[in-house]
Amino acid sequence: MRIILAFVLAVFGPAALASGLEPGPRVQVRAVIDGDTVVLAEPVDGADQVRLVGIQVPKLPLGRAGFKTWPLAAAAKAALEAPVLGKTVDLAFGRRRMDRHGRILAHLLVADGVWVQGAMLGQGMARV
């Protein structure tokens, strides 16, 4: 997967990853809940949480009784905090915009055009 991602980025650049996605608003990230969920400073479509669509990361308990922290969960959260916490990001949407928990489903692009999900994959902190 890393080889494919590296090839796509090298040949086509970050914009190729967003082709076919609907551009969304530019928003600021206020907090990071875990390795695939952020909280926005201002709500979008009535929701203030964004679930990074397309990736799976190690999970934190987040108040769930009996749920054990997955290995690398704290590292995945830190890997997401580094590029987005307190920063402005662009949202990009695929087919579904909301999940069953009322979170926005989106791809995140940081101001310099880096695809956040791709960065998480490249660091080994997420899987497709």
- DSSP assignment of 26-70 equals EEEEEEEEETTEEEEEEEETTEEEEEETT-B-PPP-TT-TTPPPP
Strand partners, 93: 22
Among 16-20, 39-43, 48-52, 91-95, name the one with the lowest average pLDDT: 16-20
Expressed as residue numbers, the domain containing 41 is 2-122
| 113 within domain boundaries | yes
User: 104 Cβ partners below 8 Å, 6+ apart?
Assistant: 44, 45, 47, 49, 50, 51, 91, 97, 98
Strand partners, 88: 28
| 71 within domain boundaries | yes
| 8 within domain boundaries | yes
| 11 within domain boundaries | yes
What average pLDDT score do residues 84-97 get? 95
| 127 within domain boundaries | no
CATH at residue 49: 2.40.50.90
| 110 within domain boundaries | yes
- Average of per-residue pLDDT values in the chain: 85
What is the three-class DSSP state of 19?
coil
Look up residue 86 and give its DSSP letter. T
- pTM (two decimals): 0.81
Number of domains in the chain: 1
- pLDDT higher than 80, residue 12: no
What average pLDDT score do residues 77-103 get? 95
- pLDDT higher than 80, residue 13: no
How many Å apart are CA 51 and CA 5, to the nearest integer?
21
| 43 within domain boundaries | yes
* pLDDT for 20: 83
15: confidence class by pLDDT, cuts 50, 70, 90: low
- pLDDT higher than 80, residue 9: no
| 128 within domain boundaries | no
How many Å apart are CA 125 and CA 76, to the nearest integer?
5
How does pLDDT run across 58-89, given as a tens digit for each residue? 987 666 677 577 678 899 999 999 999 999 99
- pLDDT higher than 90, residue 126: yes
